[in-house]
Chain A
Amino acid sequence: MRKSITTRLLAALSIVILFISTSFAVEAQDIEYKVKALYIIRLAAFITWPENPENETFKICIESSDPVSIQLKQSSISVVKGRKLEIIDLTSDLSISQCNFLYLSQGKINSAITKTPIVTVSSQAGFAKQGGMIEFYIENTKVRMKANLQSANDAGIKLSSKLIRLLKIVKPLENDDV
């Protein structure tokens, strides 16, 4: 059986993880971004968007300067959920509302997009609490994810129950002033 790209990637990842445990910070940083990029792509499989017009690309919107963006672009994965993967620079004037994923390197979430079916992802601490949907964090050198189900719900995004079991659920702040 021909090994899929994912498998190969995972294999590579495993080796990389091994590396991390023994080695350099630079490389560790690289791996972290790589893992985050990979996780974003993988999350797609367990997330349901309200509408999925066909013949449309699967869009991940990210600042082109972000290392995660670099890793995404370098990724060999070109198809997600049966659609062509498109990495869109946030700085471009493309409407955000077309994004499936929105990775925020910095800055807070715009209240305008909280009701649109975009999965917001960020590595900033407290991102989920402040209305973001998924927040990457590091625990024991491993990339972990927190989720704000309320936000997802509000945006009409459905996370698979299996995924939810893996995520750390974060309750949003009561005073939603962010």
Chain B
Amino acid sequence: MFKSFHQNTLSIKKKLLFVTSLSVGFSFFLVLILFNYLNYENEWSKLRTQLTIQTEIIANNSMLAIVFDDPIAAQEIIAALKADKTIIKARVMTTADSVFAHYETTETIADNFIKDSFVYLSEWLNTEINIQQDIVYQGDKVGRLEVTASLYHLYRANLYYLLVAFVVSVIATLLTLFLSNILLNQVIEPIIKLTSTARKVTHLSNYTVRSEVLSKDEVGELTISFNEMLDEIQRKDLLLEKTVAERTSELIQLNKKLQFQAFHDPLTGLANRMLFDDRLQVVLTHAQRVGCKIALMYFDLDHFKAVNDTLGHDVGDELLIAVTNRMKGIVRDDDTLCRLGGDEFALILNTIESNADVELVAQKMLTAFSESFFCNEHELSISSSMGISLYPEHTQSKEQLKQFADIAMYHSKRSGRNNYCFFMAQMQKENVQKLDSRVLLKRQLKTAVDNAELQIYYQPQVNMQRRIIGVEALLRWQNAENKMISPEIFIPLAEESGLIQGLEEWAFLEVCQHYAKWSSAGLPKIKISLNISGYRLRQKSFNHFIDQVLDNFSLSADFLVFEIAENEIMQNIKETATVLNQLHSKGIKISVDNFGTGYTSLSYLQQLPIDELKIDAQFVRQLSNHYEKTSVVQAITGLAQSLNKSVVAMGVEQQTQEQILQDLHCHAMQGYLIAKPMTEADIRLMLSNNPYLMEK
């Protein structure tokens, strides 16, 4: 029990019973011991008084015996002490200290245990009372009476009392145990009820259970609180269940949506590439089993990029939706129309009888395209190029079926667009080469920076007095086979494969490094123009990257001109404006590249922090003495002047062009007429030698 008491594993009832009974028993025992002690003290003093009186009487009585020298009489007198069992010894002494008479009890103690214990006790305690009384005759001391009493009887009585005390204490303990057991039930029962209720709630997770309120005391209050708590939990539980159910259905909906999104193109709602693959597999398997023919048709929209570039992506997207809707009206229900990405679509034609069936569909589609599309108040005429591969006529493999359809589509494009082509074996050869070279280039581009195959070339920009005012940094790639690859080829490749960011960062670092070198060499301060893609411009890390690099070379930003293509600057105009303002506040000039090829809102031109417009080379090339051909450039320069922006003409190749530009108050120009792009070493030499380039 003590062990469990110590480990606190006993029930409250047992603990209370234990403590109460023990306390009562112990208290009883203590009180009885105290009484016993007081009683003993009392008895002892009583005994002593009694002895003193007896001694006095005997002394008085034995006086005559001494006076008349009668020891026998004295003996008789003190023998009277025999009546007192406590007296064990008595002596009458003469004044000469000789024994006149003496008495000793003959009584022996029968009880062995008590006797032994008493004897043992006598070694430690005074177990006798000694009384001496002088015997006086006529005022003179004639002798002495000595009486010795044993405390044995007192001790025995005391021992008996102790035994009684112990027995009474034990009885009291048991009685308390019994009574407490009855009374505690009243106290404990509500707690037990509460505990069992709590256990029930826990085990069954059932919050509807309530505990019965059995008492009006603290436990009763606790029970009420407990029930209230259960109310609250039940309420919360219901709420939670409801919420969970709601969330679950939301999640199911979301999951369905996500599942749909995973397999469908969000713009048109058509199957995406993944679902297309899947469907193609299913259709192929079915065809293989049944032994029927199927056709796979790839088609895209001719010049769709131009729509995007000139009218914006919104219009492009609307066009795609319109095309989808029109196509849906043509194909059969069990044919699968998919959007593979961009303006590329695929159509799986199920169980066809003959090639004529396929041609019929293709023809229908071409007819459908012949009608204009109305998108966002724009009337758009667009055509499509289609490529068709057949199972099992061309191949039995799914992958090849796709590849062949693709090849056929390219073939159709090359043969003048707005038509369809069935795959033919000879197409494959041509295409393999083309495809291979693209893949190879992409692969090479990945390692170009590391292999130092890329270089920055600088093309000088001069003012109308042909003084160098800046340079445009241009990327040049001479691949491992020492073949110069045009930026027009590798930049789109880099954009496609996500390498553009690395390229631009590398270029920016190079430019900054060069400029730092020129500065320390004391060369004249010029501006460096750098092409920045819209994608990179809007990246959050871009701003920080620029700060970091400039800081690294301890350069201020005011030598930089960021050239951004016109069609890119107008995308996400809000975001772009924020970034451009940040850059501009650093001191970086913003230039709109290829100005005139895209579509620029004049209001934006005014709002954005644009410093410079670069007239696209195609407009400059047109410059001649024919007035109508100069109108675009004239309009741009006029616009720039009225908006207080500088104008730079690109691709100046002829003297006449320079002359006209001068007449149109163009501010600066660049082109083969002035200088070709050159290496960093060359431009450095040129700057140190002759800042007035080709001065007239």
A residues engaging B (CB < 8 A)?
3-4, 6-7, 10-11, 13-14, 17, 35, 39, 42, 45-46, 142-145, 162-163, 165-166
Contact = CB atoms under 8 A, between A and B. Distances in A.
B15 interface: no
A46 B64 contact: yes
B64 A4 contact: no
A4 B140 CA distance: 7
A39 B140 contact: no
A10 B68 contact: no
16 contacts: A6-B137, A7-B141, A7-B142, A10-B95, A10-B142, A11-B95, A14-B96, A35-B69, A42-B67, A142-B70, A162-B61, A165-B64, A165-B73, A165-B77, A166-B64, A166-B68
A154 to B, nearest CB: 24
Contact of B140 (A6, A143, A162, A166): A6
Nearest to A140: B72
B431 interface: no
Contacts of A4: 138-140
A106 B65 CA distance: 28
A35 B70 CA distance: 13
A1 B137 CA distance: 15
B138 A6 contact: yes
Contacts of A45: 137-138
Contacts of A46: 64
A74 to B, nearest CB: 20
Given A165-B61, A166-B64, 5 more contacts: A35-B69, A42-B67, A46-B64, A162-B64, A166-B65
Contacts of B69: 13, 17, 35, 142-143
Interface string B226-266: 00000000000000000000000000000000000000000
B94 interface: yes
Given A6-B137, A7-B142, A166-B73, A14 B94 contact: yes
Given A7-B141, A165-B73, A166-B73, A42 B68 contact: yes
Interface in B73-125: 73, 77, 94-96
B141 A163 contact: no
A145 B138 CA distance: 21
Contacts of A162: 60-61, 63-64
Contacts of B95: 7, 10-11
Nearest 5 CB-CB pairings of A with B:
A4-B140, A7-B140, A162-B64, A166-B64, A6-B140
Nearest to B143: A10
Nearest to A160: B64
A165 B70 CA distance: 11
Nearest to A17: B69
B25 to A, nearest CB: 57
Interface of B: 60-61, 63-65, 67-70, 73, 77, 94-96, 137-142
Q: Which of B64, B73, B142 has the most CB of A within 10 A?
A: B64
Nearest to A35: B69
Contacts of B70: 142, 144, 166
Contacts of B65: 166
B466 to A, nearest CB: 160
Contacts of B139: 4
A165 B96 CA distance: 25
A90 B68 CA distance: 26
B133 to A, nearest CB: 16
Contacts of A17: 69
Contacts of B77: 165
Contacts of B137: 6, 45
Contact of B64 (A35, A143, A163): A163
Contacts of A13: 69
Nearest to A162: B64
Contacts of B141: 7
A32 to B, nearest CB: 12
A79 to B, nearest CB: 10
A142 B73 CA distance: 13
A14 B68 CA distance: 12
Contacts of B73: 165-166
Nearest to A3: B140
A143 B70 CA distance: 9
A57 to B, nearest CB: 18
Given A4-B139, A6-B140, A7-B140, A39 B68 contact: yes
B160 to A, nearest CB: 39
Nearest to B65: A166
Contacts of A6: 137-138, 140, 142
A13 B140 CA distance: 15
A148 to B, nearest CB: 17
Q: Which of B60, B139, B140, B142 has the most CB of A within 10 A?
A: B140
Contacts of A7: 95, 140-142
Nearest to B141: A7
A48 to B, nearest CB: 15
Q: Which of A143, A165, A166 has the most CB of B within 10 A?
A: A166
A142 B69 CA distance: 8
Nearest to B71: A142
Q: Which of B63, B68, B69, B137 has the most CB of A within 10 A?
A: B68
A11 B96 contact: yes
A142 B71 CA distance: 11
Contacts of A39: 68
Contacts of B138: 4, 6, 45
A163 B73 CA distance: 11
A34 to B, nearest CB: 12
A6 B67 CA distance: 10
Contacts of B64: 46, 162-163, 165-166
Contacts of B60: 162
A44 to B, nearest CB: 10
A142 B138 CA distance: 23
A142 B68 CA distance: 10
Nearest to B61: A162
